Amino acid sequence: MMPRRGRQFVLSIVLFAVLTVWSFPVFWGLVTSLKTDRDVLAYPPIGPFHPILSNYGEVLVGRASIVPNLTSSLIVSVVTTAITIVLAVPAAYALARLRLRGRAPIGFYILATQMLPPIGLVIPYFMIFSRVGLLNTYHGLILIDLTLSLPFAIWLLVSYFEDIPREMEEAALIDRAGRFRALWYVILPQVRGGIAVTVVFVFLNVWNEFLFAVVLGGRVVRPVTVAMFNFISLEQTQWGRVSAAAMIAMAPVLLLGLAAQKHIVKGLTLGAVKGVSRR
Amino acid sequence: MSGSARIAPMSGSARIELRGIAKRFGETVVLHGIDLSIAPGEFFSLLGPSGCGKTTTLRIIAGLEAPDAGRVHVDGRDITDMSPGERDAAMVFQSYALYPHMTVAGNIGFPLRMVGTARAEIERLVTQAARRVGIEPLLARRPGQLSGGQQQRVALARAIVRSPRLFLLDEPLSNLDAKLRVQTRTEVKQLQRALGVTTIYVTHDQEEAMSLSDRMAIFVDGRIVQIGTPEEVFGKPASTTVAGFLGSPPMNLLPARLRGAMLEIEGHRLALPYPFGGEDRSVVAGIRPGDITIGEAGLPATVELAEPQGESVIVDLRFGGAALKARIFSGVRFREGQEVQIGIDPARVHLFNADGQRLDATAGASSNR
């Protein structure tokens, strides 16, 4: 067996390699966002360059400002995430705890909706939406995003609810809490980590969603993922501005991730340590 | 637990009656029609091996499981369809089921908070309950910062804080180490005596059941095989099943023949001090290990193994074709293969018929046993 220090050294190398691969596109995007178009297109690529901030100025306050699109993304993401959590928490609790008839088929149905390729849905959705007048509306896009995020959130949360010992809840029932207050006072505080993880993942998925937004959105509802394409045309790709827009678009998710970090780490490791027996 | 804090005995404790309680989980029948009557203020144990249905019975009384058949009555009132919270029962779980995100005070006060007790009153009652079980200095801590014994006391305090009419305890001591278990056992009994609340206690530990209970029910395979005081159940086991379960080591059960008042075991005859009716028949003779003596005279046996237990020694004996266990307190050393003479007091021999049911001597004799 490898000595402890040697193993740590190998692990550090692997970790560094993974981090490099993972962070390279972000780093490259950041560098590109600080370059002039000339520097971006220079061949061979130049080493040192004079960083500029004009790309950021252009995408924030210029003619093609993405601020309205950021607002659009924010509305869709926040509302979708909020509705998802409000609906997914009781649904996941019921699936994890109640002895429901047909629990297994319901669970499988929820999972099955995740198996459909979104590209196969987009044309039918477009046709339905165009007939009922939901194209280019917030509630239309939120509705579609919900169909994607809810199954995911329910399945993620079920595992967290299942990790709470049943006896904890039974104790609350005997302590005269009733089912709803047992959930509110005893169970939910213990699945906070799981809810935080779910919020971050759902927000991230909705924020980054492109396919449905580009097909079902329009002039009014145009999230930032779609707006970034304004900088790409047949004649020219404004790499500096695309990169600046991408950097700005990353910020909200990054901030959310940092804010929820403590809970996420707890939430991700929760399943790993099962101290109490489960019935 | 501090005895200094005096809480007045609780107002009324419940009389519990189970009538024909049956329960199955899928294809498995867990309870085959349980009938039980528990008097107000009684400390009643449900004792049996794992999977015998004792915990399911407790959960049905608590309202955490619904019976498939039968009714649960408290003071003559049918509570079978009531929710757990409506039953005025408090329960201590094997795992304690403390709420990890709340402090000890929050845990103990939770049942009071759920019924809208005023904040100041909650504080007073929580402090009182905590003092009663000796955990007052720990009120600000969280369960994760407590030892197993302390957690157990928090669970007890949470149970007594709202003065319920019924305590349900599901193997509450099984997660404690041996020394703490004995100490807490005494304290649980003192607490129950002081509060006078009807208590149903589930355990697989016969010593625990014996030392705590006013009466107990022995469960085997989803049926109650005997109900009685610890003395009755130990002294007059109703069947070979009960006899073989109780006692450590349990009763020796040997095939024998009974002819009136003469018992024949392994070719040796014992004159019983009281007559049994009926004809010459096959029976099972039960002899407690503690009722066997080893001395100068008696029946011949061979020592197969001796296991010193501290105050006593368990001796495995070969007696004719049968194996016997004897508990000897004399401090004598035994060696394997040693030929010894054993004494069996005929008055202390238990008899069971071929079906394993207890045989009682004719009138007047049973009081001797």
Contact A279, A167 (CB under 8 A): yes
- For the stretch B83-142, pLDDT in tens is 999 999 999 999 999 999 999 999 999 999 999 999 999 999 999 999 999 999 999 999
What is d(CA A203, CA A200) in angstroms, rounded to the nearest whole number?
5
What is d(CA B198, CA B45) in angstroms, rounded to the nearest whole number?
11
Question: Which of A175, A190, A276 faces B111 most closely, judged by CB atoms?
Answer: A175
Number of domains in chain A: 2
Q: Does B101 touch chain A (CB under 8 A)?
A: yes
A274 pLDDT above the threshold of 80: no
**What chain A residue is nearest to B169 in terms of C-alpha separation?**
A171
Size of interface A-B (CB pairs under 8 A): 61
- For the stretch B49-81, pLDDT in tens is 988 999 999 999 999 999 999 999 999 999 999
pLDDT at B177 (0 to 100): 87
Torsion sign over Cα B167, B168, B171, B176: negative
Q: Does B111 touch chain A (CB under 8 A)?
A: yes
In a domain, A155, yes or no: yes
Q: How far is B73 from chain A (nearest CA, A)?
A: 17
| Segments forming the whole domain that contains residue A89 | 66-270
pLDDT at B12 (0 to 100): 67
CATH code of residue A102: 1.10.3720.10
Determine how many CB atoms are found less than 10 A away from the CB of residue A271.
Answer: 12
Contact B188, B156 (CB under 8 A): yes
Torsion sign over Cα B54, B58, B64, B69: positive
In a domain, A276, yes or no: no
Do B89 and A186 make contact, defined as CB atoms within 8 angstroms?
A: no
For residues B268-297, give the mean pLDDT. Answer: 86
Does residue A108 sit in the same domain as residue A229?
A: yes
Question: Which of A170, A172, A190 faces B100 most closely, judged by CB atoms?
Answer: A190
In a domain, A275, yes or no: no
pLDDT at A273 (0 to 100): 36
The pLDDT-based confidence of A235 (bands split at 50, 70, 90) is confident
Give the torsion through C-alpha atoms of B129, B131, B134, B138, to 10 deg: 90
In Å, the largest CA–CA distance within chain B is 76
Does residue A226 sit in the same domain as residue A120?
A: yes
pLDDT at B304 (0 to 100): 93
Does residue A123 sit in the same domain as residue A18?
A: no
For residues A30-53, give the mean pLDDT. Answer: 88
pLDDT at A38 (0 to 100): 87
Q: What residue has token string 């000890």?
A: B104
Does residue A47 sit in the same domain as residue A88?
A: no
Contact B55, B48 (CB under 8 A): no
What is d(CA B164, CA B52) in angstroms, rounded to the nearest whole number?
27
The pLDDT-based confidence of B145 (bands split at 50, 70, 90) is very high
The pLDDT-based confidence of A34 (bands split at 50, 70, 90) is very high
Does residue A46 sit in the same domain as residue A71?
A: no
In a domain, A13, yes or no: yes
Closest CA to A209 of A196, A225, A195: A225
pLDDT at A37 (0 to 100): 87
The pLDDT-based confidence of A272 (bands split at 50, 70, 90) is very low
Does residue A108 sit in the same domain as residue A245?
A: yes
Does residue A48 sit in the same domain as residue A74?
A: no
Considering only CB atoms, which chain B residues are within 8 Å of A263? none
- For the stretch A14-29, pLDDT in tens is 999 999 999 999 999 9
3-state secondary structure of B197: coil
B252 pLDDT above the threshold of 70: yes
For residues B282-297, give the mean pLDDT. Answer: 91
A46 pLDDT above the threshold of 80: no
In a domain, A1, yes or no: no
The pLDDT-based confidence of B320 (bands split at 50, 70, 90) is confident
- For the stretch B106-116, pLDDT in tens is 999 999 999 99
Interface of A with B in 34-93 (CB under 8 A): none
The pLDDT-based confidence of A79 (bands split at 50, 70, 90) is very high
Strand order from edge to edge, sheet including B166-170: B89-92, B166-170, B198-203, B43-47, B215-220, B223-228
A161 pLDDT above the threshold of 70: yes
B257 pLDDT above the threshold of 80: yes
Question: Which of A168, A173, A276 faces B84 most closely, judged by CB atoms?
Answer: A173
What is d(CA A193, CA B163) in angstroms, rounded to the nearest whole number?
35
Do B85 and A170 make contact, defined as CB atoms within 8 angstroms?
A: no
The pLDDT-based confidence of A137 (bands split at 50, 70, 90) is very high
In a domain, A57, yes or no: no
- For the stretch B195-248, pLDDT in tens is 999 999 999 999 999 999 999 999 999 999 999 999 999 999 999 999 988 988
Q: Does B62 touch chain A (CB under 8 A)?
A: yes
For residue A248, how many C-alpha atoms fall within 13 Å in the half-sphere facing its CB? 30
Q: How far is CA B139 from CA B97, B109, B129, B133, B135, in A?
A: 17, 10, 11, 12, 7
Considering only CB atoms, which chain B residues are within 8 Å of A172? 99, 110
In a domain, A2, yes or no: no
pLDDT at A269 (0 to 100): 55
Does residue A108 sit in the same domain as residue A195?
A: yes
- Return the higher-pLDDT residue of A263 and A86: A86
3-state secondary structure of B221: coil
pLDDT at A267 (0 to 100): 59
Encoding tokens for residue B351?
A: 């008899």
Q: Does B77 touch chain A (CB under 8 A)?
A: no
What is d(CA B334, CA B339) in angstroms, rounded to the nearest whole number?
10
Does residue A36 sit in the same domain as residue A107?
A: no
The pLDDT-based confidence of B8 (bands split at 50, 70, 90) is very low
Task: Walk me through the domains of chain B, giving residue ranges and CATH numbers.
Answer: 16-235 (3.40.50.300), 249-363 (2.40.50.140)
Contact B100, B142 (CB under 8 A): yes
In a domain, A58, yes or no: no
Strand order from edge to edge, sheet including B313-319: B292-295, B339-344, B299-308, B313-319, B322-328
Considering only CB atoms, which chain B residues are within 8 Å of A185? 99, 110
For residues A222-248, give the mean pLDDT. Answer: 91
A5 pLDDT above the threshold of 90: no
Closest CA to B73 of B87, B53, B83, B55: B87
Q: How far is B229 from chain A (nearest CA, A)?
A: 29
Does residue A109 sit in the same domain as residue A154?
A: yes
Do A175 and B158 make contact, defined as CB atoms within 8 angstroms?
A: yes
Share of chain A above pLDDT 70, in %: 94
Does residue A14 sit in the same domain as residue A121?
A: no
Q: Does A273 touch chain B (CB under 8 A)?
A: no
3-state secondary structure of B41: coil
The pLDDT-based confidence of A117 (bands split at 50, 70, 90) is confident
For residues A232-239, give the mean pLDDT. Answer: 87
What is d(CA B294, CA B343) in angstroms, rounded to the nearest whole number?
6
Q: Does B97 touch chain A (CB under 8 A)?
A: yes
- Return the higher-pLDDT residue of B306 and A276: B306
3-state secondary structure of B281: strand
Does residue A21 sit in the same domain as residue A144?
A: no
pLDDT at B274 (0 to 100): 80
